[in-house]
Amino acid sequence: MTRTSHDDAGALPRPYLLFLGDVTVPGYAKTAFGLRDWAPEACIGEWRLPGCTVGTGLPQCDPAQAVAAGARALVIGVATPAGRIPEAWLPSLVAALAAGLDLVSGMHTRLSDIPALREAAERFGRRLHDIRVPPRGLPVATGRKRSGRRLLTVGTDCALGKKYAALALAAAFRERGLDAHLRATGQTGILIAGQGIPMDAVVADFAAGAAELLSPDAADGHWDVIEGQGSLFHPAYAGVTLGLLHGSQPDVFVVCHAHGRTHMLGYEDYPMPSIEAVVEATLLLGRRTNPAIRCAGVSLNTGVLPASAAGEACESLARTLGLPVADPMRRDVTGFDRLVDACLD
């Protein structure tokens, strides 16, 4: 049994069985959805426990069936509040080890710290891979201006598309012949990209330094597209957002928002901030380390709308804000190229 950090995430055993546990809130299954959408070749199927009401659309199978189909590891595809692994899941996770699967997790609770899983891994000769482990020896931020270009996705809330927007923009930049890399900052992004730093596992004093390390000096034409985390307006996670903003020193940011969401996910006493407020706050705080920071536009998650209404929703918001607005998952109907153009201006 070994512990795997972001440094060797590319060596994770693929393909995966995606574990959805007993989740009932789609937003908490973002790891499973992210792998389905951005690394489909690595996904054999999904495993849902009784009471689970969320699905990825992948074939349903238990660990034995997944192993027979070629799976080598079970990935916990759920991000629970506080990143804890519920005790009720442990028998199922042990069963996956017994069936011949490694376990991969991006939770705050480390697999290797749970005696029942550690003992089962040793008994069945399997490995436990913890992704949410920051590198050792992270520096304190210097604030020094670095060469190269940087784009950061920022959010009005958690779990609404910052990772998807960053992946789509990095891919679009490369399609235009630019040298661009995704810089992953969360467990799902790290699983997709094969490397990165789990920002919400970094000690607060070193968060901005970690962001500097993640996006180092680069050639003038190089773009680092940095996956955002949290929201400056989130009552629990604003700290990681601010550290990432200061350390990444973005030249450009794109605001990510979910159409129709009225309250912060899991915090019903907190209404969503306006996009205008997020732009204003990001400019104010971002200018501390990059006075030239600017907002290129908005990535609007229109997943609650039929495709026929997505384009009008983006156009309406664009008229209100005076900025390009597009859904990167519905590129053809929402004017995604206009958002890309604005990022590169």
Residue 19 is predicted with a pLDDT of 98
Task: Name which of 204, 135, 193 is nearest 163 in CA terms.
Answer: 193
| 221 contacts 179 by C-beta, under 8 angstroms | yes
Residue 2 is predicted with a pLDDT of 52
pLDDT tens-digit profile, the chain (345 residues): 554 444 444 478 999 999 999 999 888 898 999 999 999 999 999 999 999 999 999 999 999 999 999 999 999 999 887 788 999 999 999 999 999 999 999 998 999 999 999 999 999 999 999 999 999 999 999 999 999 999 999 999 998 999 999 999 999 999 999 999 999 999 999 999 888 999 999 999 999 999 999 999 999 999 999 999 999 999 999 999 999 999 999 999 999 999 999 999 989 999 999 999 999 999 999 999 999 999 999 999 999 999 999 999 999 999 999 999 999 999 999 999 999 999 999
Cα(20)–Cα(62) distance, rounded to whole angstroms? 12
Residue for token digits 């009720």? Answer: 88
149-344 belongs to which homologous superfamily?
Answer: P-loop containing nucleotide triphosphate hydrolases (3.40.50.300)
At how many degrees (to 10) do helices 238-248 and 275-286 cross? 50
Asked if 6-130 and 149-344 have one fold, the answer is yes
For the record, the structure tokens of 132 come out as 């949410």
Residue 83 is predicted with a pLDDT of 82
- Asked: is 6-130 a CATH 3.40.50.720 domain? The reply is yes
Residue 82 is predicted with a pLDDT of 74
**Residue 336: partners with Cβ closer than 8 Å, 6 or more residues away:** 168, 172, 326, 327, 328, 330
| 141 contacts 290 by C-beta, under 8 angstroms | no
Domain ranges of the chain: 6-130, 149-344
**Residue 268: partners with Cβ closer than 8 Å, 6 or more residues away:** none
The structure's pTM equals: 0.88
Residue 1 is predicted with a pLDDT of 53
Cα(46)–Cα(31) distance, rounded to whole angstroms? 12
Residue 94 is predicted with a pLDDT of 98
How far is the first Cα of the chain from the last one, in angstroms, to the nearest whole number? Answer: 49
